[in-house]
Amino acid sequence: MTDMGTLLTGLGVGESPRWHEGRLWFSNWGAREIVAVDLDGNTEVVAPGPKVAGYCIDWLPDGRLLVTGEQELLRREADGRLVTHVDLSTLPFGPNEIVVDRRGYIYVNCIGFAFGQEDFRPGAIGLVTPDGTVRTVAEDIHFPNGMVITPDNSTLIVAESWTRRLTAFDIDGDGGLSNRRTWADIEGDGICLDAEGAVWTQTLQEDRSACLRVREGGEVVDRIDLDLPCFAATLGGPDGRTLFMMVAEFPGVDKLDEMFASRTGQVRTARAPAPAAGPR
């Protein structure tokens, strides 16, 4: 990999990065901000974060921003206000990552327990259809994190962080998920998909953090070693071949406040061998 760089520093923890309309958008956990930054490092706080951590973003097909709240999905209005898009209280506890397919089906995963406060319980993936119907479409997900959908809307891949695997589902005509299978036995947090069908994911092995490019089945075809843990990655830039990596120090689950306050979060960049899987 070449052309490694640092785009931004001084963050809490950057999560849920997305390339959208010529800028990188992300959730700045700890600062309670949703931030957009261009390739020159110019930043804009585009919306408040609804909570200290655990909020993630994506867009409806009509361009409106969606954000996960405590037990609801929020929508950003033209005047910048966050309003309730749909109530998620019928889903398991803890909305986390979201991904929207090209038809407007919204997938929301829920971790299933209060992280850092309760014992582990499996989570789930919920579906919000365009008419506002909410239902659970997959259960027994072990700490669901990043999700991606293939450009043809046929497959959803989710990172199950606590079992160190990427899990795939077929997407049915009504938005349901079926044919659950292991896509790769590898760690993952915030993942992204490239045009060759490979997933960029993250790992901590032997106290070294890395961002890995993985093919279905688990073959690692590219590796970027990092000096800080990587929490998420996405592809973007004018040609879709800039890999944005959200890194920060991680002192432990019991020291999240310390992690947010230390502002060690950064956005690192590298050139990727293949562009993003689809336009954003």
The strand pairing partners of 234, in sequence order, are: 244
pLDDT at site 76 = 95
- Which pLDDT score, from 0 to 100, does residue 255 have? 76
Three-class DSSP category at 57: strand
Q: Which CATH number fits domain 8-271: 1.25.40.340, 3.30.750.24, 2.120.10.30, 3.40.50.620?
A: 2.120.10.30
- Residue 133 tokens, joined: 């119907």
Please give the average per-residue pLDDT across 82-89, as a whole number: 96
Is the model's pLDDT at 232 over the cut of 90?
yes
What pLDDT, on a 0 to 100 scale, did the predictor assign at position 6? 97
Amino acid found at 7: L
Task: Return d(Cα 8, Cα 5) in angstroms, integer.
Answer: 9
List, in order, residues 6 or more apart from 257 with CB less than 8 Å away: none
H helix and E strand count, the chain:
1, 24
Whole-angstrom CA distances from 3 to 33, 119, 138, 243, 266 are 28, 42, 40, 10, 16
Give the helix ranges, DSSP H, for 147-209. Answer: none
Q: Over the stretch 126-148, which tens digit does the pLDDT of each residue have?
A: 999 999 999 999 999 999 999 99
Could you give the 3-state DSSP secondary structure of residue 260? helix
- Segment 68-84 shows an average pLDDT of 94
pLDDT digits (tens, 9 = 90+) for 92-127: 989 999 999 989 999 999 998 777 677 878 999 999
Per-residue confidence (pLDDT) for residue 278, from 0 to 100: 78
Q: Please report the pLDDT score of residue 45 as a whole number.
A: 96
Cβ atoms of 149 and 171 closer than 8 Å: yes
Residue 231's alpha-carbon distances to 12, 27, 267, in angstroms, are 12, 12, 10
Q: Which residues pair with 36 in a beta bridge?
A: 25, 44
| Rg of the chain on CA atoms, in Å | 17
Distance CA 73, CA 52 (A): 16
Q: Give the amino acid at 51.
A: K
The pLDDT mean for the chain works out to 93
pTM over 0.85: yes
